[in-house]
Amino acid sequence: MLLPSFSEMYEALLNRDTSYEGVFVVGVKSTGIFCRPSCQARKPKAENVEFFDRSAQAIVSGYRPCLRCKPMEALGNPPLWVRNILDEAERREYKKLKDQEIRELGVDPNRMRRWFLAQHGMTFQSYLRCLRIGISLRNSEKNKVVDRDMDSGFEFLSGYGKAVKKMKGKSTSDNAYKDFLKVDRWLGPLGPMTIASFQDKICLLEFSDRRMLETELQDLCKRFSTQVLFEESPVGLECKTQ
């Protein structure tokens, strides 16, 4: 989808223009939150925002939904059964919700999957995984180690905080820069994808909603005796643009 110009979208954001609902969502770089155009929250400076044509793209880019304007919901009230699951996901800080746990909340996991695919172009589990990786990415940018309780399923990523600190001050031409498992994700034509490279070679290209994705990344770290660094690699960028 071709977005309007940056200036037009930023003006719509400042005016809380509801006519742009469904046209774009906005990611706020300083907070890691994404909002709908009509969000009533205080508006960020232009240099602190980027725009996306849909929520899925914002999530894959590392943003989590605003709890105030709730951009993951259609305008108006979503079905109660969807709202209950989303509330539970927020309460758990987007830790994994197993199918049995979803059933215990009175919802068929397949029904939830179909609703998310129809509304957002990704499955519910992919949504949760992308949010967890996005939170990890935001923390890595601040040189923070991921909290093991919050991380939920990405415990092995706690080591990448050290990797970021070790890399501080090094340029992308340094050989040491290649010695991490570089992980990035993007919204491909078939859905959210996760890509990992080591020493400028692709070693994983997988759907982000794959159940064993975390285990695969952990196995790669062990195989190469390395740590995860959330960063776009040149070979990863080339893969995205093919």
Q: Which of 189, 180, 176 is nearest to 160 (CA)?
A: 180
Alpha-carbon span 186 to 196, nearest angstrom:
12
Q: Distance between the two ends of the chain, CA-based, in angstroms?
A: 18
Alpha-carbon span 174 to 85, nearest angstrom:
46
What is the Cα 232 distance to its own chain's centre?
14
Q: Which of 120, 107, 22, 31 is nearest to 68 (CA)?
A: 31
Alpha-carbon span 52 to 187, nearest angstrom:
11
Alpha-carbon span 119 to 173, nearest angstrom:
42
Residues forming the active site? 35
The residues near 237 (Cβ < 8 Å, ≥ 6 apart) are: none
- The total of other beta-carbon atoms located within 10 Å of residue 224's CB is 14
What separation in angstroms does the CA of 138 have from each of 39, 96, 132?
22, 19, 10
